[in-house]
């Protein structure tokens, strides 16, 4: 892709304006009139070190009014921008492609109000997910979303990507739990839809468009969200399973026997666990190795009662030969430790070199087949091997099995064009043939922009383009991505 010549370059005069608007020195990282390369580098580079931008100006607004002034000015002067939250996104959406200005939301991190009866939280978009969750814990509530990047990602970023995470199975998608947002459009218009009502059927539900829009139609500045009561008891079990067929039976049984208390059902293959062992040096919680592992979490109101249920579930599935081995966490430390075998995969992969990540939805029956087929294809191309001469170290699969969401990851010793060519568009064609989705929860960003047609038909893409033009006629918001 080429830089869009309609966009202006940032000049010292522009910088002067932004400094006046934002007042505080620390709110502007200025690499235009000074040398700030080192300070700007982290904002130009994504979590995976796969995408790198060339921006020379980072703005950190502290209020909605400041966001509005910045965007109006950018729109009037044809300056392209990239909204940025915690910069943990995995599709290259959160960093510039060329010299777009980064609008980083980290200073807008206040919790505005919380209603202890209804469980409705209102907070600024730059609030870190874990901070929001800890605040809620002190009130007996839980944020209805949890994911491995919780210590860095923002709730505004979560909405912008429509993040799914580890407990979607229980608490549903952000499309259901978000009650309202405040957002700023490209021309500076503030859209105040910070509704605090569970029900509101007055007209089109415009906030839904911002959820999963990845910063292409506006910047989310505030969020109102329905939070569930925190469960008094949590239990976690990890199972070893001999085949994917049996993993599906285990899921069936878990829904039947644990129904109302089931809060997560996650899948990991042995390949993904081998990488975690390699990077952490930790010993596996089960004696033997199995082709598959499932992590099951329950959240309920009675610890003893829930543990009993999980124990008898484990006995039942072992008796029936569905599960080969299993372990139950007995305390908070063990719960956290079992979770690291699932949540730690992304981090472990990140340590080992370049990763090609495919976050996809596939009808459950064929979910894991994709990993087998991709592994065979990479192997047949002569790219997979144990020694340094092969670019690919491993092809692994894990994910939110309870939501039919697979994470296919190809772990490489270094990013390599040949690997990408073997994987794409093969992976997307494979998914389209099965009516899956090429983007389950991470979004499109830069990575999947050109592949949207594999999961959305031309009529829908056309409507989406109309929406983009309505909200951002000059196209200054997160250009080169998404559509
Ligand atoms: P960023 O990465 O900063 O931005 C993501 C996108 O949103 C960009 O397009 C950006 O322009 C836009 N954006 C950010 N803030 C705003 C805003 N205020 N207004 C408008 N647009 C905005 N994702 C899942 O769905 N499930 C998981 O289980 C999961 N686990 C992860 C684990 C790890 C270790 C990592 C590194 C990532 C994981 N992710 C997961 C991906 C990522 O964390 C999520 O997509 C997260 O929601 C991104 O939030 P962020 O604040 O970091 O956004
Ligand atoms: C996860 O479920 O671990 C995340 O979505 C991140 C990843 O896909 O690696
Ligand atoms: Zn995930």
401 lines ligand 1 (CB under 6 A): no
Question: Is 120 in contact with 126 (CB distance < 8 Å)?
Answer: no
- Closest ligand relative to 145 C-alpha: 1
How many angstroms separate the CA atoms of 433 and 373, rounded?
Answer: 14
Domain boundaries, the chain: 12-107, 111-226, 233-348, 353-446
Instruction: State the pLDDT at residue 330.
Output: 87
Task: Determine whether the shortest distance from the Cβ of 53 to ligand 1 is under 6 A.
Answer: no
Per residue in 228-252, pLDDT tens?
999 999 999 999 999 999 999 999 9
Distance (Å, whole) CA 115 – CA 121: 7
**What whole-number distance in Å separates Cα of residue 305 and Cα of residue 309?**
6
pLDDT, average across residues 452-481:
98
Residue 182, preceding bond cis, omega within 30 degrees? no
* Contact 284 CB / ligand 1 (< 6 Å): no
- Rounded distance between C-alpha atoms, residue 53 and residue 30, angstroms: 15
Pocket test for ligand 2, best of 46, 346, 443 (most atoms within 8 A of CB): 346
Give the architecture-level CATH label for domain 233-348.
2-Layer Sandwich (3.30)
Mutation to probe ligand 1, out of 49, 64, 89, 264 (largest number of atoms < 8 A from CB): 89
Closest CA to 48 of 87, 100, 103: 87
Q: Are 165 and 88 in contact (CB under 8 A)?
A: no
> Which atom of ligand 2 is closest in space to residue 359's alpha carbon?
8
Distances in whole angstroms, Cα of residue 117 to Cα of each of 114, 130, 216, 229, 235 = 9, 22, 35, 10, 26
Class of domain 12-107: alpha beta
> From the CB of residue 241, how many other CB atoms can be counted at a distance below 10 Å?
23
Global ipTM:
0.99
Q: What gap in Å lies between CA 182 and CA 210, rounded to an integer?
A: 10
Which residue, judged by its Cα, is nearest atom 6 of ligand 2? 346
User: Which residue owns the Cα nearest ligand 2 atom 2?
Assistant: 399
- Nearest ligand to the C-alpha atom of residue 162: 1
Distance CA 18, CA 69 (A): 9
Atom 5, ligand 2: which residue's CA is nearest? Answer: 165
CA distance 348 to 182: 36
Given a cut of 90, whether residue 284 has pLDDT beyond it is yes
Q: Tell me: the pLDDT tens digits for 399-444?
A: 999 999 999 999 999 899 999 999 999 999 999 999 999 999 999 9
Q: Tell me if 105 CB under 6 Å of ligand 1.
A: yes
Q: Which tokens belong to 260?
A: 């109302």
Asked if residue 427 has its Cβ within 6 Å of ligand 1, the reply is: no
Q: How far is the CA of 50 from the centre of ligand 2 (A)?
A: 16
Centre of ligand 1 to C-alpha 96, Å, is: 15
**Residue 24: what pLDDT?**
80
319: Cβ contacts below 8 Å, ≥ 6 apart: none
Q: What residues flank ligand 2, with Cβ below 6 Å?
A: 148, 345-346, 357, 359, 399, 407
Q: Which residue has the higher pLDDT, 109 or 26?
A: 109
Residue 385 pLDDT: 97
pLDDT of residue 25: 80
- What's the token pair of residue 75? 């729109």
Residue 181 pLDDT exceeds 90:
yes
What are the residues whose beta carbons fall under 8 Å from the beta carbon of 459, sequence distance 6 or more?
none
Instruction: Say if pTM beats, i.e. exceeds, 0.95.
Output: yes
Residue with CA at minimum distance from ligand 2 atom 7: 346
**Helix, strand, coil percent values for the chain (each to nearest 5):** 40, 20, 40
User: Into which CATH architecture does domain 353-446 fall?
Assistant: 2-Layer Sandwich (3.30)
One fold for 233-348 and 353-446 = yes
Q: In this predicted model, what pLDDT tens digit does every residue of 43-87 receive, in sequence order?
A: 999 999 999 999 999 999 999 999 999 999 999 999 999 999 999
Give the closest residue (by CA) to ligand 1 atom 46: 158
> What does the pLDDT look like over 330-348, one tens digit per residue?
899 999 999 999 999 999 9
- Nearest CA to 227 out of 298, 371, 129, 322 is that of 129
Contact 266, 294 (CB under 8 A): yes
Q: Kindly report the CATH class assigned to 111-226.
A: alpha beta
Q: Are 395 and 271 in contact (CB under 8 A)?
A: yes
- Both tokens of 467, joined, read 């929406």
Which atom of ligand 1 is closest in space to residue 441's alpha carbon?
Answer: 25
Asked whether 207 and 200 are in contact (CB, 8 A), the reply is no
- Per DSSP, 20 falls in state H
Q: What is the DSSP letter of 117?
A: T
pLDDT over 90 at 303, yes or no: no
Q: Which of 242, 202, 454 is nearest to 368 (CA)?
A: 242
Q: Where are the alpha helices (DSSP H) in 320-368?
A: 332-351
> What is the rounded distance in angstroms from the CA atom of residue 78 to the CA atom of residue 75?
5
């Amino acid at each position: 892709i080429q830089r869009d010549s309609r966009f202006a370059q940032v000049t010292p005069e522009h910088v002067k304006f932004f400094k006046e608007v934002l007042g505080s020195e620390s709110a502007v990282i200025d690499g235009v009139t000074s040398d700030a390369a080192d300070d700007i580098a982290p904002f130009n580079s994504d979590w995976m070190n796969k995408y790198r931008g060339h921006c020379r100006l980072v703005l950190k607004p502290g209020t909605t009014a400041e966001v509005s002034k910045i965007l109006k000015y950018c729109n009037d002067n044809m300056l392209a921008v990239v909204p940025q939250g915690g910069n943990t996104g995995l599709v290259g959406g959160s960093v510039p492609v060329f010299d777009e200005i980064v609008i980083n939301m980290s200073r807008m991190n206040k919790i505005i109000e919380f209603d202890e009866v209804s469980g409705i939280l209102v907070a600024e978009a730059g609030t870190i997910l874990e901070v929001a969750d800890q605040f809620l814990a002190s009130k007996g509530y839980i944020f209805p979303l949890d994911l491995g990047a919780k210590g860095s990602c923002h709730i505004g970023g979560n909405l912008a990507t429509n993040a799914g995470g580890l407990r979607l199975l229980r608490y549903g998608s952000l499309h259901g739990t978000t009650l309202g947002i405040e957002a700023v459009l490209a021309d500076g218009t503030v859209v105040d839809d910070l509704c605090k009502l569970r029900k509101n059927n007055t007209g089109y539900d415009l906030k839904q468009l911002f959820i999963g829009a990845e910063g292409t139609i506006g910047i989310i500045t505030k969020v109102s969200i329905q939070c569930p009561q925190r469960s008094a008891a949590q239990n976690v079990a990890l199972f070893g399973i001999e085949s994917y067929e049996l993993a599906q039976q285990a899921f069936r049984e878990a829904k039947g026997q644990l129904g109302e208390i089931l809060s997560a059902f996650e899948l990991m293959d042995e390949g993904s666990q081998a990488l975690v062992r390699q990077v952490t040096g930790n010993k596996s919680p089960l004696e033997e190795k199995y082709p598959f592992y499932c992590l099951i979490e329950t959240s309920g109101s009675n610890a003893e009662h829930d543990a009993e249920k999980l124990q008898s579930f484990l006995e039942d599935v072992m008796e029936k030969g569905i599960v080969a081995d299993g372990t139950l966490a007995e305390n908070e430390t063990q719960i956290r430790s079992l979770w690291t075998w699932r949540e730690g995969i992304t981090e472990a992969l990140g340590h080992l070199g370049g990763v090609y990540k495919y976050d996809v939805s596939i009808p459950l029956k064929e979910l894991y087949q994709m990993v087998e087929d991709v592994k065979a294809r990479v192997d047949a191309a002569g790219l997979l091997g144990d020694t340094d001469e092969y670019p690919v170290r491993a092809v692994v699969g894990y994910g939110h099995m309870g939501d039919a969401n697979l994470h296919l990851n190809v772990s490489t010793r270094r990013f390599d064009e040949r690997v990408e060519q073997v994987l794409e568009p093969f992976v997307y064609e494979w998914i389209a043939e099965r009516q899956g989705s090429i983007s389950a929860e991470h979004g499109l960003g830069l990575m999947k922009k050109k592949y949207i047609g594999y999961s959305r038909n031309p009529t829908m893409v056309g409507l989406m383009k109309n929406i983009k033009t309505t909200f951002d006629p000059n196209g200054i918001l997160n250009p080169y991505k998404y559509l």
